[in-house]
Amino acid sequence: MIRIPCPNCGPRNSSEFSYFGELGSRPAPDAVDPAHWRHYLYDKKNPAGWTTEKWYHASGCRKFFAIERNTLTNDVKSGRPFGVESSSEESS
């Protein structure tokens, strides 16, 4: 099982986490037209190699954070917390 480095709890089995996919910058919903919004929702880079993505420590500290992971090897680099406390604000 791959291990995910939670910035709060340290490396834990990936089964403790929920995966939220590629980190994208979310446009303000009232500032974009539906086509742009759908582009944000659906069009993914789906890269083969290093990528930054969002995970949630569901069976741990219950915080969202970002990690760098290599999708070819599943190697991970250390995680970094988001600047916000509340998890609901960060959930997509």
Partner 1 sequence: MWRNFELEKSYDVVIIGAGVHGLATAYYLAANHGISKVAVVDKGYVGGGGSGRNTAILRSNYLTPEGVRFYDRSVQLYRTLAADLNFNVMFAPRGHLTLAHNDSSLRTMRWRAEVNKLQGVDSEVITPEEIKRLVPFMDVSDDTRYPIIGALYHPPGGIIRHDAVNWGYARAGDRLGVQIHQNTEVTGIRTEKGRVSGVSTNRGEIGAPIVLNCTAGWASLVSAMAGVKLPIITHPLQAAVTEPVKMFLDAVVVSGSLHVYVSQTDRGELVFGASTDPYASYSMRGSLEFTEELASHVLELMPSIAKMRVLRQWAGLCDITPDFSPIMGITEVEGFLVDVGWGTYGFKAGPAAAEAMAELVATGRTPQLIAAFDLARFAEGRLASERGAAAVGH
- For partner 1, the binding residues (CB under 8 A) are 1, 14-15, 19, 21-22, 34-35, 38-39, 41-46, 48, 53, 69, 71-74
Residue 61 interacts, among Zn ion, partner 1, none and using kind-specific CB cut-offs from 5 to 8 Å, with Zn ion
Question: What is the rounded CA–CA span in Å between residue 77 and residue 58?
Answer: 20
Report how far apart, in Å, the C-alpha atoms of 39 and of each of 24, 54, 59 are.
11, 18, 31
54 to 73, contacts with Zn ion by CB under 5 A? Answer: 57, 60-61
Cβ(16)–Cβ(1) under 8 Å? no
Q: Which is nearer to Zn ion, 6 or 76 (CB)?
A: 6
Q: Which is nearer to partner 1, 57 or 69 (CB)?
A: 69
Question: What is the rounded CA–CA span in Å between residue 28 and residue 59?
Answer: 30
CA torsion through residues 21, 53, 12, 1, sign: positive
Residue 83 interacts, among partner 1, Zn ion, none and using kind-specific CB cut-offs from 5 to 8 Å, with none
Site of interaction with Zn ion (CB under 5 A) = 6, 8-9, 57, 60-61
